[in-house]
Structure 1
């Protein structure tokens, strides 16, 4: 245990009983999300010979996976990870295997590939939200939970860097479809290792006897029903803030991905895009680890708009970069605020949710970010051909700045409040009061 004067370290998070095995298993399963998108895109292109068909199928896969994530998370909240995840992951892995087989050789119908992609996207197991909900079960100390969420965000960032590299190696030595098959193996192995871990078994046992999302046993009075409705309304209001900022961060990063490609091509250095992406990932990792190591005295409801503002202003200034070296540096600086903003959004979503809705709350933050990223890329693609590039960077910076300006800032309990007080019957915070 750490003393109050000495904040707990990341090592204290990893030393939490039963945490390492569950975290490692979840990361193994989530690595498949880093390999599947590039592998599937390359496999679809090779199989159909059409970028338009491949792009359309990938859009269907991504949208189905993102938009249905809260629904799948709700099933996990209701039935528990040990009951809901296995059938979900078996179906998902089976459909990925079918996609790998269908794209192994050219000539497969685009309609069949689209149907398989939609079905696979509908079954994608939400391992990120599930792991974050488990962190909340394992760590009653809010300071430790902040570090766990920061560590989780940084690890996820690194997975989306190493995953495409692994997919690229498979493409060189085998075929893109092999990367799709590997993604199926990774998610299947990681998920079953996760649900069989002692931490998940303990969490399941602690919830046994109380349906995750169903009605509580015993007669329900009108007063308790009214209180339940009030809690749901309050939780929804609290969840709206982190979801809005997460969507805004996704919008600006989705736009940034295309803008750096255009910037590099106009400077005749298209290969430098990889360095820009690496700078963003490195900045996010450094920012996330540094942010998680600080015991903040300022409420997350105050920190979230500040981080969104910092990200927006840095991104707006990035468009003024005179060359790629400055662009790489500026993108690295912008990355410093990405993981902290998402970590804070996840923490606030966890605080706002009732214990039996934590997975779904985290999934909404995920869905907002992923949908925002796709929308940002599509929107800026319509503008970049007819507007100055520097102005496009400013436009990309508008969503986080707008979200920061419109998200109401309210004082909440200190971040060191034990999460166990929420699980004892509260919803995560007291009734809204100006302080």
Structure 2
């Protein structure tokens, strides 16, 4: 579960066997927060709109702070950033259930959600940065591109599995015990595993890479068109996630089953994780941008089935198809980002992608919640198709940008 085909003995040797389960568990709370906040607010305050807004403002807080945390980690090291951020985030999560369940005004709920988003630990992009640093130091130049692709496949698959397990755990706790327990569990996991991840020996590898690297490239290099198209594609994935989760919640809430959304949403992640893992075995001649176009097209096709769904079985079938498109697309985007990252800006680049996903998810959650409230859940089922169009359009723009600029050398030392 924690690694695909061996990405290289050097990588495993330097990361250590314990790294992968720790990094996996440390990113689990992040996957629980969006669904957990939405489920908690809908259950306690009876409003899909407020639930969507709560998830949205938390996501916007993460999107605004994410690149800043990434830049701080590039400059100060991951440990100095992650430890205090994780403790603060755990405390804020623990405070949320009594605030939502009490008499506090909606504005207080939204304000607390913003702070939760701002303090969300950026485990996934920091994990990618650590592994890329190990590859640069420990893997022979002739094998780096292959090892990078396999590593990004694992990382994306880990994200996908997390986004299966996270919503499933939220749905299970919400239906079996109470929606508040899911948020409390996220607080405990954050305190334990984010701290463990921060103090893991691989943190020293990242610090060593930072201390021995050349001067970071100018920040303007982050705005180059090839990289911007990848960030735009990640934004599209976030829009897709937010529109899908919120429209699914609204559809189920119409029959009083809104707390089951996490369970059904996890169906999409099964195929997504499997295809993300399998993408490491795709031939090199099937380029990253070609994969993005092909699987982005599959994602768009799946959203058309989703938009026409009028029952839970049809929704489940559509979610299964959608999973086949989203996993390989994420692998392609993160692999391209690793290749295009300016020198000394690796963590910043990865957090830019992560923040783009989050801001897309937040924006789509808010907009979709409004559509559910005003036009009904059936109308909201069409919104993921618009997000998938952004994903595919960004892929085409990325391919066009690649034709106008030289191909980046894979993972220079």
**Structure 2 length normalisation: TM-score?**
0.80
Q: Deviations over 1:88-120 (max 9, x none)?
A: 2122222223334545x6233444433333222
1:151-230 residue pairs with structure 2 within 5 A?
151-171=154-174, 175-208=178-211
Residue 244 of structure 1 deviates from its aligned partner by: 1.5
Residue 126 of structure 1 deviates from its aligned partner by: 0.7
Bigger RCO of structures 1 and 2 (CA < 8 A, at least 6 apart): 2
Match of 2:397 in 1: 406
Q: In 1, distance between residues paired with 2:327 and 2:202?
A: 25
* Residue from 99, 103, 107 that aligns with 1:107: 103
Structure 1 residues 79-88 or 127-136, which shifts more?
Answer: 79-88
Q: Deviations over 1:34-92 (max 9, x none)?
A: 33334444545566676655554443222212232111111111111022211221222
1:369-380 residue pairs with structure 2 within 5 A?
369-379=357-367
Equivalent residues of 1:23, 1:131 under 8 A apart: no
Structure 1 position 131 matched with structure 2 position 96 = no
- The verdict on how the C-alpha distance between 1:234 and 1:256 changes in structure 2, with shifts beyond 3 A counting, is closer
Match of 1:429 in 2: none
Q: Deviations over 1:275-329 (max 9, x none)?
A: 7534321121121111122242243234323332332234335545687555533
1:29-108 residue pairs with structure 2 within 5 A?
29-44=26-41, 53-100=50-97, 102-103=99-100, 106-108=102-104
Uncovered stretches (5+) of structure 2, i.e. residues with no partner: 137-143
Structure 1 position 365 matched with structure 2 position 353 = yes
Match of 2:141 in 1: none
Superposed CA RMSD in Å reads 3.8
Q: In 2, distance between residues paired with 1:196 and 1:259?
A: 39
- Equivalences, count: 397
Equivalent residues of 2:168, 2:266 under 8 A apart: no
Residue 357 of structure 1 deviates from its aligned partner by: 0.9
**Structure 1 length normalisation: TM-score?**
0.76
Q: In 2, distance between residues paired with 1:148 and 1:418?
A: 14
Equivalent residues of 2:175, 2:259 under 8 A apart: no
Residue 267 of structure 1 deviates from its aligned partner by: 11
